[in-house]
Amino acid sequence: MLIPQPAEWKFIADLQTPLHQPRIIQSREASSGEIDLRQGVALFFDFPDPDQRLATAYADFERFLACGNIAIGKGYRVCLRQTPGMEPDSYSLEATLEQCTLTATGTEGIRRGLVYLEDEILRAGGAFLSCQATTRRPVIKTRISRCFFGPIKRPPMNRDELADDVNYYPEEYLNRLAHEGVNGLWLSVTFRDLCPSKYFPNHGQDREKRLAKLRQTVVQCARYGIKIYVFCIEPVGFGDVPEYTLPLSELEQVPFFAGHREGAFVYFCTSTPEGQEYLYDCTQYLFSQVPGLGGLIDINLGERPTHCYSNTHNFGRSNCPRCSKRQPWEVFADTTAALARGMQDANPQAEMISWLYVPYLWNDSGSDNERKMDFIRDIAAHVPENVMLQYNFESNGKAMQLGKERVLPDYWLAWPGPSGIFADCADNATGAGTRISAKIQVGCSHEVATVPFVPVPGNLYKKYAAMHRLGVSAAMQCWYFGNYPGLMNKAAGELSFAPLPETEEEFLHKLALTEWGEHAAIVAKAWKLFSESYSHFPYNGAFTWYGPLHNSIVWPLHLVPVDQPIAPSWKFTFPAESGDRVGECLIADHTLEEALALLDKMAEIWENGVSLLRDIEPDYKHNAARKLDIALSKALGLQISSARNVFHFYALREKLPHLPQAQQKATLVGMRRLVEAEIVNSGEIKRLCEQDARLGFHSEAEGYKYFPALLAHRAERLQSLLSDDFPAVELGVNAGKKLFPSYTGQEPEGKVYACGKNPAAGKWESLGRCGEWRVSHFDGNLRFEIRARFSGKDESEHIEIALEPRRLWPSRIFVIKPNGEKSVINRGFIPVAPEWEAEISRDGVDHKPTIVIPLASIPVTPTTDRLRVNLSVVCGKEDDSWVEKHPLEPRLIFGKDNPTDYGWLLLTE
């Protein structure tokens, strides 16, 4: 049953409400060295501002004073003064008993200073100001965020914010971002939409409406000191994927753009005069047509096929007739320099940010990963002087968890970072005299992206302290998610300036004092507990992309195994809802027992933090913003609790069939309690959702991953599970029947192979027209013998042995080619050496590999004498398998693998 999405995104209206609300002022006398503002202030706002950029800042400051019942006109003097030589965002604030003077060189320094002055008044109780002399300068000079609800210009929605009439930047939304130190916002574009080209006559045909909307957006945001950065992945390569390639047919008119070829893709060669000209022309046109653009963020490595070295796999292996003779860094330097020249010829202040997006280096061999990282280090050392390098702050980092070293792919907030490769890139780039930008996630990351932010500002303190040390001067603060205004954005803005507070504790207390007043110490303690809890999030890429913290609170629970896959967190595609294959959340990188230990610890410590906030909640019954902050902490606690319950449920279910009858009965009682707890969790978070429209929304998915109607539906399904499924299973237990015998392999269905120890006695099984196979076992090893008939016409021909050693887990796939080359599709981010042997002989047209696979080399070692298997021979266009394949819609990590496409391997004597 499909439950329709909410009809509107009500948080958009919330973002348009005034930032400043009437506040209660402390009833006390001014302390020694403190200014009492209750008698009013006189504003002397005459700072040179020919473009009227400060009009919004002045109006905001006056609203702030009015909300504190501080009269404007006479009283304490607040003066602005211009002085030369300070950086654009720098300011000095001197507050004496006579007057407050705010000094800066440019308008943005005044804007930041006024926000700081507001915060100082709040920290002093709402109508007081401490005497002080403070100078702050930006270390992170470029601070780029994104619209929380802006279209992502990607499938399946394919919404484009430049093609509609929606205003994604309401005034008070921009005001909030300005208060949080944001001075840039990024949005997605493509050259083919915006830039006409003599090489591609059909490009840019509908550009005028988009360009007009972009100009409007630039002007609108500039009023708040925020620049617009266009994000793209250019130049686009050629292929058969319309969403992110140009048609191969277009190469017929521009053959000089044909570069590296791989599969169905042809990369766009930039090592030609025509390639350089195309890049220059596009950025020169775009930045001429839209004055005031802040810059261009271009993914030059990773994500999609663009120039010939845009994939780490191509390093040292390019087959482009031109780029193959060049080092990758040379191609990168030429590509980014051409983009920057065009842009800066139109707007010399615009920033070119070259983003090396390498979320993981996923390979069987650690040595190959190191080779790729050497190429990346070289690229960082040769960035052109007019280009800024950007790298993911945490990607490919290594951290210890539960006594094991873990590899952390993609983005992380739970782990502060930085990764070793980021630090190397920062050293190389700054050493060569170019700027380095950190791609981070400020509000939330792939760990849990269905909340506006995760309240762990201490983690940001650790990140930014490292960024200061490494010479980082820019930050792209979010992907599509992780950018909602609030605590974490504010923390990032504060941490972008020097001097940095000396300790995390000092920073947290000062941050809490602004909004929580007398309870700042308690709130700072709660934040510390939240950070400690979050550090136990499993350091596992699959647990972020497919992990339960996003929305397991609406997952169904299956007492009877269904072997259905987990849905990706970041989009609404196959499958429509997550099933019971929780091993897909862990892959080869964590055991189920490890995940349970971590989730238990997370839930326990998080609840300790929530308990502190519950104690002070009554004091904020009239403060809507703080009530939402407390409710958010509760919602996250429920999501963590739900993830823990779901994993405990399936851990018990997997043990259930193998237990004695008495233990089965006790286990079912425990499973019932988990289901009942999940009904309660769904009801509690439903009530929170009804008060806070932000909860459950995932910006990249462009919709809600949980919402009240879906939560109610889930609770109904769980009630049915208790009333229907549990009695049926309990009846089987009482009758002494085997539980789920086809699922466990006790009574296997489908194809079955009896695997004995005598190789010669093994039965040959057909692989269709392409071969046959048999298998035996000895001393904990599987010995496969295969007769494969290859066409010899396709270099992609190969043999696959897919082993699923434990139910619910993805398979490890062993691959061997006719020439004897072997590899492993590992389904994990920790590089695993291929601890297996393969010998191949020829008999006419037949290839006869003998493959020995130690069961201990499979990351999730089998626990019984039976496991599931499938073998395939891919020859030409044929893909013949022992068990016929029914490919699923492809998913990241798992490809098209279908858990139904397996037979049973029973180990016998």
Per-residue pLDDT of 91-134, as tens digits, reads 999 999 999 999 999 999 999 999 999 999 999 988 999 999 99
Q: How confident is the model at residue 364 (pLDDT cuts 50, 70, 90)?
A: very low
Per-residue pLDDT reduced to its tens digit, 495-552: 999 999 999 999 999 999 999 999 999 999 999 999 999 999 999 999 999 999 999 9
Cα–Cα distance for residue pair 546/829, rounded to 1 Å: 14
Q: Spell out the residues 6+ positions from residue 593 whose beta carbon is closer than 8 angstroms to its own.
A: 651
* Model confidence, pTM: 0.96
**CA proximity to 703, closest of 582, 576, 540, 557:** 576
Half-sphere exposure of 394 (CA within 13 A, CB side): 27
194 is written with which tokens? 């915006």
| Per-residue pLDDT tens over the stretch 24-57 | 877 788 899 899 999 999 999 999 999 999 999 9
| Radius of gyration of the chain measured on its C-alpha atoms | 30
Q: Which residues pair with 395 in a beta bridge?
A: none
DSSP readout, 820-869? S-EEEE-SSSS------EEEEEEETTEEEEEEEEEGGGSSS---SSEEEE
Q: What's the pLDDT band for 1 if we cut at 50, 70, 90? A: confident
* Integer Cα distance of 18 and 63 in angstroms: 9
| Residue 744 parent element (H or E) | helix 741-744
> How far apart are the C-alpha atoms of 763 and 756, rounded to whole Å?
10
How far apart (Å, rounded) are the C-alpha atoms in residues 616 and 852? Answer: 63
Classified as helix, coil or strand, 185 is strand
Q: Which runs of consecutive H residues, i.e. helices, occur in 413-454?
A: 420-431
Nearest CA to 491 out of 522, 512, 467 is that of: 512
Token pair recorded at residue 241:
């994927």
Identify the pLDDT of residue 792: 72
The dihedrals phi and psi of 64, each to the nearest 5 degrees, come to -60, -45
Average of pLDDT values for 608-634?
97
Per-residue pLDDT at 794 exceeds 80: no
The pair of structure tokens assigned to 725 is 């499924």
CA distances from 201 to 193, 275, 354 (A): 12, 16, 27
CA dihedral 169, 172, 173, 177 (to 10 degrees): 120
Question: Can you state the angle between helices 487-495 and 171-179, rounded to 10 degrees?
Answer: 50
Span 548-563, average pLDDT: 98
The pLDDT value given to residue 789: 85
Query: What does the pLDDT read at residue 833?
Result: 56
198 burial class (0-12, 13-18, 19+ CB within 10 angstroms)? Answer: exposed
pLDDT in tens, 814-828: 999 988 888 888 777
CB atoms inside a 10 Å sphere around CB 123: 20
Predicted confidence band of residue 365 (pLDDT cuts 50, 70, 90): low
Cα separation, 111 vs 181, in Å, equals 10
Range name among 75-84, 464-473, 730-739, 827-836 with the lowest pLDDT average: 827-836
Q: Which of 109, 229, 199, 217 is nearest to 163 (CA)?
A: 217
Spatial CA neighbour of 546 closest among 509, 500, 503, 581:
581
